[in-house]
Amino acid sequence: SSEVLEAIENVILDVLKSLAKKQAPVLTLANRSDWRNIEFKDSVGLQMIPRSTTKKIRSDCPETAMKFALMLKILSMIYKMVQSNSYATKRDIYYSDTLLFGSQSVVDNLINEISCMLKIPRRSLHILSTNRGFVAGNLSYTEEDGTKVNCTCGATAVTVPSNVQGIKNLYSHAKFILIVEKDATFQRLLDDEFCIKSAPCIMITGRGIPDLNTRLLVRKLWDTFQVPIFTLVDADPHGVEIMCIYKYGSMSMSFEAHQLTVPCIKWLGLLPSDIRRLNIQKDVLIPFTKQDDNKLASLQKRPYMAHQPMWKKELEIMAASKMKAEIQVLTSLSSDYLSRVYLPNKLQFRGWI
């Protein structure tokens, strides 16, 4: 707490020094959206380089004055929360003054900027994410307040905890962890009792692009149990990007890569090569859009693809076919094909890359 308070005090001290000299105060931020500031390291993923290029948020410039003011406003809120040992979600911060902030995405971006500027993880700023993720399967743990949680694989899943760092006494004899891209597929596997009928496992979904807590939980499970981690995503550029976020991280959160990425994650399915192998009919596939073309081209240029020749081949198959497939296409073979045939065979015969 004292480290966070001191970091905020140093920012405000610089503002006061500028004012004392009759100069317009300026905040200096690392440029998080510039690929030149990011390097790829196989054991970590995408990480920000130590001497990254910066941008200035000036208080006397019409384009940035509002951002400057909003950053000071959020810094003051964080300071009070850390002092009083209270917490707020990003949503709470937005709803404290919706007219001032304008939108939730503005608040989300400012919090990431502040975290990067102070070089302090977001959870240490007493700001919690609004939880989207679910976890189920062979896992139990104790939450920070002492609540015991058992994620036994019934028909309902447990919400990913809001303070992942605070959970303890994690216990599992899972043989693997399965990250599922979509909530619908996750629920289907729950209904089919996949966790019970297959080897004991833990299933997690971020319900699309994962929030911070879901990524933190995947990392914590890896650190604790060191079991194989597989991803089940749609055979489309969006699904591949989601898998890459879990495995290698994202550009916007590259300053926190060491706490968030799990580079040992494997791609279990749905592989573009599976579509041909399983003789999936063309009428259940979806043609590429211009957006898909652009996303795929961007993925193929990412620095980590040079380290993944098998992934590159799969993306080339996708690019040649100009078609994408959702995991649900497997129901065209049979209603429970995913849980009864596809996943057990993939796991038994090491069908991951």
Count, in order, helices (H) and strands (E) of the chain. Answer: 15, 17
Nearest alpha carbon to residue 245 among 301, 299, 172: 299
On whether the CB atoms of residues 240 and 315 are closer than 8 A, the answer is yes
Tokens of 245: 């976020």
First and final C-alpha spacing in the chain: 42
Nearest alpha carbon to residue 274 among 348, 324, 340, 207: 324
Q: Is residue 95 annotated as part of the catalytic site, yes or no?
A: yes
| Helix-strand-coil split of the chain, %, nearest 5 | 50, 20, 30
Give the DSSP letter of residue 180.
E
Q: Which of 87, 95, 141, 171 is catalytic?
A: 95
Tell how strand 286-287 and strand 323-324 pair up. Answer: antiparallel
Task: Please give the backbone phi and psi of residue 71, each rounded to the nearest 5 degrees, phi first.
Answer: -65, -40
Distance between CA atoms of 199 and 318, rounded to whole angstroms?
A: 31
Tokens of 177: 């962890």
Sign of CA dihedral 101, 107, 109, 111: positive
The catalytic residue positions are 95
